[in-house]
Amino acid sequence: MDYERQRDEMVRDLRRMGIRDERVLAAMRRVPRERFVREGDRDIAYGDHALGIAEAQTISQPYVVARMTELLEVVETHHVLEVGTGSGYQAAVLAELARDVVTLERHASLAEQASSILAELGYDNVRVVVGDASAGYEADAPYDRIMVTAA
């Protein structure tokens, strides 16, 4: 499977759908989305649709990831909190843009898997924390930006 070509096509599609921030598009191009989906879904990882992951959760479709990231207006000096790690894909995209990312996940199995993938890919500026974020996460506050990817 030619994932690089699929990433290029995804970025072209995102641009056609209205994503304008070149930094966000470049981040989306650099993150290997196929690593964050189930093995059986890797051939469709770059389609613009959500995919199921463990714990009855999903990885958001590329447009949603790109649009939310664009709206957050992250810059390289930002300390970012993400609520809802899931597979870790959104955290990786944020890590391409921010100084560092703290991402909270209530499912320990998802947190462990995301942490492992992020480490394998060299995202040493992401810290995955297991916990309930309903009261926020003061340990590393204050944050420059907060993204909620869990509902």
Rounded to whole angstroms, what are the CA distances from 150 to 33, 60, 107, 135?
19, 10, 12, 14
pLDDT digits 0-9 by tens, 97-136:
999 999 999 999 999 999 999 999 999 999 999 998 887 8
pTM of the predicted protein model: 0.97
Domain coordinates in residue numbering, the chain: 3-148
Strand, coil or helix: 59:
strand
CB 33 within 8 A of CB 121: no
Q: CATH assignment of 3-148, given 3.30.1130.10, 3.40.190.10, 3.40.1010.10, 3.40.50.150?
A: 3.40.50.150
> Does residue 60 have an active-site annotation?
yes
CB 72 within 8 A of CB 146: no
